[in-house]
A and B are shown apart, each in its own frame.
Chain A
């Protein structure tokens, strides 16, 4: 099956945003907090690996147009070593995907479906993603376009109603031990940012290549802003106890009770997370079996 689909640069950016942001919102605040304490909202700004990954992907695509990173590595270091590197890359995708699936399953069963066996939660997700990934790259692009507005609305509807309850004093002291704790807190985040290398798999399918760099950079900036907002809101609400929760943002969503009428908004947050996990598992599924453009 040779992929004939095309995606636009805008869709590429949206896909990258949806792959990184939802999972990072879920897990990163508690991890960053361990190292950065009240500076955790600064941590997402140190996104060096994200920029490096984007730069690498675009340079590679300039040198070997129409080739993704696996094919390019075959051209760079020869047939068999290149295949070995390609296998490693695809294996890492499979590995990340299994990790994401597990995280998704544990989150859903811990927070919402405690009685359901894990295999049902993860199995249904994997089944849906496997079926969806048969649709090819064009469908992923459309799907991202469809889901992103929903994601933003849901994210804001979790972050905005909490504003009256925030305690701005929690932010102080800002950087009492210098810049290092926030950088240490961002180390784990780098593993999310460097997933931007997946752009390399999609660049051969982008129809308006010249706009792609801008669109992906905007996606990275949007991820950073989203994470800063999420971490800041978490910090301002929970303060010192952020580190006690595995999913601080979920606690935040549970906290919301607007005029005693809107409550249990965590269901919206689950919707975000299910969308995000679906997008990520689905895209990584697709990447790890994406057929080459030119045979």
Chain B
């Protein structure tokens, strides 16, 4: 099941690249870099989450920051 998900993610990433890449013209260096970086980072994150779903995320950070505020109003 897990491998099916990984295959699915890979297929989606491939489709995105095939769809977007030809639309960017030769001189659009910045856009190409941004697209490549975001796609690679997103892919890595998706694969990692597949294997380690318990990784801490931004929600943990938010909770840590706003916990004191919550306890003030919690009676």
A residues bordering B, Cβ < 8 Å? 1, 35, 91, 95, 184, 187
Q: Does B58 contact A (CB under 8 A)?
A: yes
Contact between B73 and A187, CB atoms less than 8 A apart? yes
Given known contacts A1-B31, A187-B69, what 6 new A-B pairs fall within 8 Å (CB)? A35-B73, A91-B58, A95-B58, A95-B62, A184-B73, A187-B73
Q: How far is the CB of B6 from chain A (nearest CB, A)?
A: 14
Q: How far is the CB of B23 from chain A (nearest CB, A)?
A: 9
Number of chain B residues close to chain A: CB under 8 A: 5
Q: How far is the CB of B43 from chain A (nearest CB, A)?
A: 16
Contacts of B58 in A (CB 8 A): 91, 95
Can you give 8 A-B contacts (C-beta < 8 A)?
A1-B31, A35-B73, A91-B58, A95-B58, A95-B62, A184-B73, A187-B69, A187-B73
- Cα distance A35–B31 when bound, in Å? 47
Q: How far is the CB of A177 from chain B (nearest CB, A)?
A: 11
Q: Which of B31, B62, B69, B73 has the most CB of A within 10 A?
A: B73
Q: How far is the CB of A43 from chain B (nearest CB, A)?
A: 12
- For the residues of B in contact with A, the DSSP-based class is helix
Contacts of A91 in B (CB 8 A): 58
- For the residues of A in contact with B, the DSSP-based class is helix
- Cα distance A95–B31 when bound, in Å? 22
- Cα distance A184–B73 when bound, in Å? 6
- Cα distance A184–B74 when bound, in Å? 9
In B31-73, the 8 Å CB interface with A consists of 31, 58, 62, 69, 73
Contacts of A1 in B (CB 8 A): 31
- Cα distance A95–B57 when bound, in Å? 10
Q: How far is the CB of A115 from chain B (nearest CB, A)?
A: 18
Contacts of A35 in B (CB 8 A): 73
Contacts of A95 in B (CB 8 A): 58, 62
Q: How far is the CB of A204 from chain B (nearest CB, A)?
A: 19
- Cα distance A1–B69 when bound, in Å? 42
- Name the 6 nearest CB pairs between A and B, nearest first: A184-B73, A95-B58, A187-B73, A35-B73, A91-B58, A187-B69
Contacts of B73 in A (CB 8 A): 35, 184, 187
Contacts of B69 in A (CB 8 A): 187
Q: How far is the CB of B11 from chain A (nearest CB, A)?
A: 13
Q: How far is the CB of A129 from chain B (nearest CB, A)?
A: 14
Who on chain A is nearest to B38 by CB? A289
Who on chain B is nearest to A35 by CB? B73
Who on chain A is nearest to B24 by CB? A1
Q: How far is the CB of B7 from chain A (nearest CB, A)?
A: 14
- Cα distance A215–B73 when bound, in Å? 34
Q: How far is the CB of B49 from chain A (nearest CB, A)?
A: 12
- Cα distance A68–B73 when bound, in Å? 34
Who on chain A is nearest to B16 by CB? A130
Q: How far is the CB of B68 from chain A (nearest CB, A)?
A: 13
Contacts of B31 in A (CB 8 A): 1
